[in-house]
Structure 1
Amino acid sequence: MDFRKLVSERWSCRAYLPDQVPDDVMRDMFEIAQQTASWCNTQPWQVHVLKGDATRRFAKSLTEHAKTHEQASDLGMPDGYHGVYKDRRRAAGYALYASLDIRKEDWDARVAQRLKNFDFFGAPHVAIVTTDREQGTYGAIDCGGYVANLLLAARSLGVATIPQAAIAMHADHVREYLDLPEDRLVVCAVSFGYADTEHPVNGFRTERASVDDTVFVVGD
């Protein structure tokens, strides 16, 4: 697939078919993503991939935890959303709820939809991405590059994905469940599988800002 087309047509999937991704396809995804550039070639990412019944057991455990516990992330949350960042966030949320016909005042439906994050939106697989604690901010940045490449690699192989910061908001439970050592920080999750293209939640797309609003060229 042409790279521009690949990037422009990638989207976040929030409803999946139950079909497992074959092991050889999964390996291709992660082999492609492993080529990601990193600070001093440290490659600080490690990934724990769940499949089959293991995914469902983890989803059940994480959902129950999220219902009864406060957030506890390894990485700092945004201090706030103001100006254009608030506008973009609200537009994305509005598009999501509109696709599902969930009204603003329907709090129960909104909570139920939020909890689907911890069920990985029904995806048959979830990848938990962690970074080395000592690598600090740049380790997390490197993991971001890795995640971006993983999403595109999956798309190129016909696999749907959604990157999820929500999972990292309960890093304490993720660490305990997967028996992660203390030197690993939970960055995010990537849920993946084959898209349920008939589900209305997969029908909306978010917009991107103009390059003129984000890139500033200095010089003649």
Structure 2
Amino acid sequence: MKKQLTSQGKPFNFTRENLQKAEILIARYPQGRQASALVPLLDLAQRQASGWLPREAIEYVADYLKLSFMQVYEVATFYSMFNLSPVGKYFIQVCTTTSCQLRGAQDILKICHDFIQQGNEDNFFSVCEVECLAACVNAPMVQINDDYYEDLDAARITEILLALKAGKKVNPGSQIGRQGSAPERGSKNIHKSKKEPPS
């Protein structure tokens, strides 16, 4: 997905609470290495700015860490976790890497796009296609804001979108009750035979 830097048209400053968080984050790194806090500070700025990084936030973080704008911009454009233009209240990232693709990711992606086109006047949802979200065993999956929804199918993703639009809580994780990355139809333990050869 191509990233295009957008301005929010007003100055950006960390809130008092986020300034305290920023100081804690920076203190984790040795003296002279405060620039190592760049990714966590960009994440903090993005959360404050409703899920995206306006130009002003990137400039603010650059000044805060005494880095050039370009150094911070390069990091913001490199990581897919950063959005450089506004996103909806619910930002849906659909994994379309091999495992998810083989198990119906394109159907999930189409449903998300169709759902948004049919009624998203309030910009409640945004959707994009992403590479591996690291739950290949539980494919297909999506990330919505900070939550992961795994073992999806067309019916379940529709239910999730409708529930979120109605303001209802949806439990993240496996949507078929799978524990972690256990086999889909229950445990397949290998038991030793009662008759074992002598050692």
Shorter-chain TM-score category?
under 0.3
Question: More helix by proportion, 1 or 2?
Answer: 1
TM-score, normalised to structure 1, is 0.25
TM-score, normalised to structure 2, is 0.27
Which fold has the larger relative contact order, with Cα–Cα distance below 8 Å and residues 6 or more apart in sequence?
A: 1
